[in-house]
Chain A
Amino acid sequence: MTALAHVPTSTGQPPGPPPPPRRGRHRLLPYLLLLPGAAWLLLFFAVPLFQLAAASLYDPSGSLATGYALTWAFGNYPDVLQAYWPQFARSFGYAGIALVLALLMGYPLAYAIAQKAGRWKNLLLVCVVAPMFTSFLVRTLAWKTILSDNGALVGLLRDVHLLGPDGRLLATPIAVILGLTYNFLPFLVLPLYASLERLDHRLLEAAGDLYASPVQTFRRVTLPLSMPGLIAGTLLFFIPATGDYINAELLGTPNEYMIGNVIDSAFLVRLDYPQGAALSFLLMAAILAVVFGYLRRAGTEEVL
């Protein structure tokens, strides 16, 4: 509080017409304001990334008890890739399928709230974020009840023969993908909504007046104008979904394990730090590659 109080004191100007962009009288002040937060982020976000990189190059024959030696063991990377490529592929595969599902569900939802909801807009928005009001893990466990072998959903699907008499949903890839879609859908919908909300309705009417079919209007007006939100939402969905392992653990079996499960057990169960660090770093590199590749195609401008 007291620190905040200095803000206007030092930038405060004498009465009279001030220059709109203030040149800080105290040139040090912005740095003082930034210092604690930036130091925290440097020390506990940036430095650890280097530590992780170092740990991924430790001699894999060391252990937590005997200590690790940094031997620049680049061989760790091909080793873990060879051992765990199925989990890697699964992470990106599941997250990709979930993303497609989420787009199919999220776009109409965001569009309806932004353009069609009228005075119900705020209420519907609250409904979108409402799942996040309760615990992620408790919500995910609720899917165990919904998809349970004795549940109504499985019973129905068996009755209409979409599932065989012993068919299951729980402990299958379907459950994991459904869980991923559910858990990260709000992150996709919110930025998309923000974009679509700014969409001028008159543009859609103009397109209609000019004999565009609804499909054409969507493709040539709505979709391009919602691109910034679509890109931001896609990234906000895809990044956490790829790194998630809670859904795979709670709704799947080891056959559905994603790379996060492997990293979790490398660090916390097997205590194999070089392997865990190499996997973690590979995950980040892979996600960054996908993200930048995607941004290059989609146009970067409005995302950062």
Chain B
Amino acid sequence: MRFSRWLADRWVMGVALLVLGYLSLPIAVVAALSFNRPSSRLSYDFNEFTLDNWRQPCATSDMCDSVLRSVQIGFISTVVATVLGTLMAFALVRHRFTGRSGINLLIFLPMATPELVMGTSLLALFVSAGVPQGFWTVVIAHVMFCVSFVVVTVKARLAGMDRRLEEAAADLYAGPWQTFRLVTLPLVLPGIVAAALLAFSLSFDDFIITNFNAGTTVTFPMYVWGAAQRGIPPQVNVIGTAMFVIALLLVGLTSLRGRRSRRAALPVAPTAGRPVTSATGRRAKSPS
């Protein structure tokens, strides 16, 4: 009896941990394979421990070129998409205008359309317009599918923001520009940074849309795709592991900073802050 109650309480957690194991297993394998010296080019099995892959990550130079190209494309796409998306988020949260539902649809649809359809339709456009495919067509495509995610992310932050802080700044004789720089921007910035990180990771990791629009430009995912037919160099796993570690560090850093700034903000917030967040939280739910 007591055991069955204990089990009833815990089984969900047990299943959850098993599922998390299933989700984490491939990452562990990627990390392990980054220290592997494969027995042959087409073998995916663990053979022998070595540090060579980490010592010479660029032993196959095409791979490092492709990583560099992915970083360049990711960087440009992120900057453009973040600016465009943030402007749209401001318009949607701060203004009333006709045509809102049309704009919302235009933002929502790319997130609900299969990548395959977006990739092939852009290809059809570029081919019929005679645009040669390459680096810049990939950037165009990446900005296109990142913008929506930026809008959604920044919008969420803006909608949850306490407008009375800006009003207070105005009451204290801050000019509009000062209000924006000293109040609005610092409050929205975490949302913008999160959106930019999301955009970069979407761009860096995209394969399907890129594959249709890259011409002869080779990004990292395309390199891996091509190499899968010819034999994967073990250094691919070094890049995979390094990406994982960098992303994990970024998440760790932002959550640490978030905790610290929340603690710093606490003495000011408690009386006014509470009811507002709950009110905006409820409001933020309804238009979604």
Interface string of A43-54 (1 = CB under 8 A from B): 011111101101
Within 8 A of A (CB), among B88-143: 88, 90-92, 94-97, 103-104, 106-110, 112-118, 120-125, 127-128, 140-141, 143
Please name all residues of chain A whose beta carbon is closer than 8 Å to the beta carbon of B23 when the two chains form the complex: 127-128, 130-131, 182, 185-186
Would A7 and B96 count as touching, CB distance under 8 A? no
Cβ contact within 8 Å between A9 and B176:
yes
**CB closest chain-B residue, reference A147:** B44
Q: Which residues of B contact A55 (CB under 8 A)?
A: 124, 128
Residues of A within 8 A of B179 (CB): 8, 12
Is B261 part of the binding interface, using a Cβ–Cβ cutoff of 8 Å?
no
Interface residues on B, range: 35 or more
**A268 at interface, CB cutoff 8 A:** yes
How many residues of A are counted as interface, with CB atoms below 8 angstroms from the partner's CB atoms? 103
Question: Could you tell me if B94 and A22 are in contact, using CB atoms closer than 8 angstroms?
Answer: yes
For chain B, what secondary structure do more than half of its interface residues adopt (helix, strand, loop), or is it mixed? helix
Question: How far apart are the CA atoms of A140 and B30 in the complex, in Å?
Answer: 10
Instruction: Indicate whether B68 reaches chain A with its CB closer than 8 angstroms.
Output: no
Contacting residues, chain B, for A291 (C-beta < 8 A): 112
**Are the C-beta atoms of A24 and B96 separated by less than 8 Å?**
yes
Q: Mark A237-276, 1 if CB is under 8 A from B, else 0.
A: 0011011111001100000000010011001100001001
Q: How many A-B residue pairs have CB under 8 A?
A: 289
Residues of A within 8 A of B151 (CB): 37
A21 touching B20, Cβ below 8 Å: no
Q: Check B176 against A12 for contact (C-beta < 8 Å).
A: yes
A289 within 8 A of B: no
Q: Interface stretch among B54-62, B235-243, B263-271?
A: B235-243
Give 9 A-B pairs besides A126-B248, A134-B27, A267-B123 with Cβ atoms closer than 8 angstroms.
A5-B180, A37-B85, A40-B144, A48-B124, A54-B128, A130-B248, A142-B29, A142-B30, A284-B113
Shortest 3 CB-CB contacts between residues of A and residues of B = A243-B114, A12-B176, A112-B16
Sample (22) of A-B pairs whose CB atoms are under 8 Å apart: A12-B179, A33-B87, A36-B84, A37-B85, A41-B106, A41-B144, A41-B148, A45-B113, A48-B122, A51-B121, A51-B124, A51-B128, A124-B20, A126-B248, A131-B27, A135-B243, A136-B207, A138-B240, A139-B27, A243-B114, A277-B124, A280-B121
